[in-house]
Amino acid sequence: MKYVSTRGQAPDLTFEEAMLTGLARDGGLYVPAEVPVMAANDIAALAGLPYEEVAFRVMRPFIGDSFTDDEFRAIIARAYEGFGHAARAPLVQLGPGHFLLELFHGPTLAFKDFAMQLIGQLFQAALERSGQRVTIVGATSGDTGSAAIEAFRGLDAVDVFILYPHGRVSEVQRRQMTTPAESNVHALAIDGHFDDAQARVKDMFNDFDFRDGVRLAGVNSINWARVLAQVVYYFASAVELGAPHRKVSFTVPTGNFGDIFAGYIARKMGLPIDRLVVATNQNDILHRCLSTSEYMPDGVIPSISPSMDIQVSSNFERALFDAYGRDGKAVAQLMDELKSGGFRVSQGALQALREHFDSGRCDEDETRATIKRLQATTGELLCPHSAVGVKVAEENLKPGVPMITLATAHPAKFPAAVEEAAGIHPPLPPRMADLYDRDERVTRVPNDLAAIETLIRERIAK
């Protein structure tokens, strides 16, 4: 299995190489040269299997020779053993034909644990074998960083540096990043927005001296291995509701387009997905782009669903690559235009995107109203991100096709917003109840590439 860059100018890599590399050297993102198709029989055979076995069968064709079957099975088992729910991703019903996929039972209470826990174990297995050491840097609007720190803490072959926008993550998210005591994890609070943090991480990858000098590796949602890990729960949940014998649709609270892109891969693999609905908050660039063809960032407005407060949606590049007939030059051109303000998707490419994706937007008042209403009508307390998904899903229900909305975080990760909306304080699960008592450790950094690189070099030299 070979992986190619969306900008067509970087070398093809194996799964392991693409995973350790993250961003391609031409600035593009790695995607499989070909998506393997799963036969309807093989999909049907997933019914009733443990989550780990579904994960093995769905991901195996993408791994190639990078890991043996036994190694890969052991990696998956370790990745999900720390989850607080035996089903890993339980499905609950919200109403007629509408289901919620709870993806928040991992160690940091957000869906990012599904990918990050797996990638931690994959990195450890690969690096142990080669005796190498790497420096992981990542940008986070909150949940990626805590999931990464939780997945890599204490691993000796890895230093992890996480940049998060100072003052713009929830207290639970911050504490999950700043309280782990292991010396290989470093939380950096940058003066700026998430997009600034993400831009500085991209700059570090494009600074080849630095990149090679510290052996930089990325675990942001652009990392192919993360997308792949997320494909699994689309299969697991769809099969539970009758796939491949009937179609299902998904609504996905979306920011960087990684989670919903995993659904798109599941669809290409042969899972009968009817619609993939992109749900955005008031930062609705993806909804606007899918509605009007114009991709025009116009500044982030902070919301109560901060993990979706994004204007530059990295993984959208992967969807554009396919929509433009896998023309790397065309994608590189769009990304150049983006640097000077924005771009317009061609009519052909927009049509191709709309074959897979619908979209909707949910503003702040609607988000709060949805949290309150769902609590009253179902007893389910939603986090603000999941509420955005539920609201948009309700607008896209179709008779005869079950809708699965992805619940991307636990309500206790965003207690202030949830309490304001529903009048109920969502308690942390008992296994993390002491989070507010632990000591914090964080370094404030300016939004300046040279300063951040110097700090990282100094820390890893120690």
Ligand X SMILES: *Cc1c(COP(=O)(O)O)cnc(C)c1O
Can you tell me the distance from the alpha carbon of 160 to that of 121, in angstroms, rounded to the nearest whole number?
14
Question: Two tokens at 232?
Answer: 């699994």
Candidates 105, 372, 385, 391; binder of ligand X (CB under 6 A) is 385
406 in Cβ contact with 101 (< 8 Å): yes
CA 262 to chain centre: 9
Candidates 120, 192, 255, 328; binder of ligand X (CB under 6 A) is 255
**Interacting span for ligand X (CB under 6 A) from 20-28, 155-163, 174-182, 253-261:** 253-261
When the beta carbons of 38 and 382 are compared against ligand X, the nearer one is 382
Phi, psi of 444 (to 5 degrees): -80, 130
Nearest 10 degrees: CA dihedral of 231, 233, 235, 237? -150
Number of residues in contact with ligand X under rule CB under 6 A: 16
Q: Is 280 in the site for ligand X (CB under 6 A)?
A: no
When the beta carbons of 67 and 114 are compared against ligand X, the nearer one is 114
**Interacting span for ligand X (CB under 6 A) from 62-70, 131-139, 252-260, 392-400:** 252-260
What's the min distance (Å) between Cβ of 22 and ligand X? 15
When the beta carbons of 83 and 210 are compared against ligand X, the nearer one is 83
Q: Hey, which residues between 166 and 225 contact ligand X (CB under 6 A)?
A: 221
What's the min distance (Å) between Cβ of 3 and ligand X? 19
Residue 220, SS3? coil
Helices (H), 97-184: 112-130, 143-152, 171-178
What's the min distance (Å) between Cβ of 322 and ligand X? 17
What's the min distance (Å) between Cβ of 173 and ligand X? 9
What's the min distance (Å) between Cβ of 270 and ligand X? 22
In which order are the strands placed within the sheet that holds 273-280? 91-95, 98-102, 403-407, 248-253, 273-280, 357-361
Is 462 considered catalytic here? no
When the beta carbons of 46 and 149 are compared against ligand X, the nearer one is 149
Q: Is 243 in the site for ligand X (CB under 6 A)?
A: no
* DSSP 8-state code for residue 348: H
Helices (H), 192-251: 194-206, 208-213, 224-240
* DSSP 8-state code for residue 437: G
Question: Two tokens at 119?
Answer: 């990638």
What's the min distance (Å) between Cβ of 170 and ligand X? 10
**Interacting span for ligand X (CB under 6 A) from 186-194, 256-264, 320-328, 430-438:** 256-264
What's the min distance (Å) between Cβ of 71 and ligand X? 27
CA 30 to chain centre: 15
Candidates 259, 309, 317, 322; binder of ligand X (CB under 6 A) is 259
Choosing from 112, 247, 372, 391, the catalytic residue is: 112
Contacts of 334 (CB under 8 A, 6+ apart): 295, 320, 343, 345
Q: Is 308 in the site for ligand X (CB under 6 A)?
A: yes
When the beta carbons of 24 and 285 are compared against ligand X, the nearer one is 285
Q: Is 256 in the site for ligand X (CB under 6 A)?
A: yes
Question: Two tokens at 216?
Answer: 């930089």
Per-residue buried b or exposed e for 75-113, using 16+ beta carbons within 10 Å of the residue's own CB: bbebbbeebeeeebbbbeebeebbbbbbbbbbbbbbbbb
Candidates 16, 143, 317, 358; binder of ligand X (CB under 6 A) is 143
**Interacting span for ligand X (CB under 6 A) from 18-26, 76-84, 180-188, 251-259:** 251-259
Can you tell me the distance from the alpha carbon of 82 to that of 134, in angstroms, rounded to the nearest whole number?
24
Q: Which residues pair with 162 in a beta bridge?
A: 138, 187
Q: Hey, which residues between 78 and 97 contact ligand X (CB under 6 A)?
A: none
Q: Is 107 in the site for ligand X (CB under 6 A)?
A: no
Contacts of 374 (CB under 8 A, 6+ apart): 94, 380, 381, 382, 387, 390
Q: Hey, which residues between 329 and 368 contact ligand X (CB under 6 A)?
A: none
Candidates 281, 307, 311, 370; binder of ligand X (CB under 6 A) is 307
When the beta carbons of 179 and 307 are compared against ligand X, the nearer one is 307
Sign of CA dihedral 416, 188, 25, 36: negative
What's the min distance (Å) between Cβ of 384 and ligand X? 8
Q: Is 112 in the site for ligand X (CB under 6 A)?
A: yes
In the complex, which residues of this chain contact ligand X (CB under 6 A)? 110, 112, 143, 221, 253-259, 307-308, 385, 408-409
Which positions are catalytic? 112
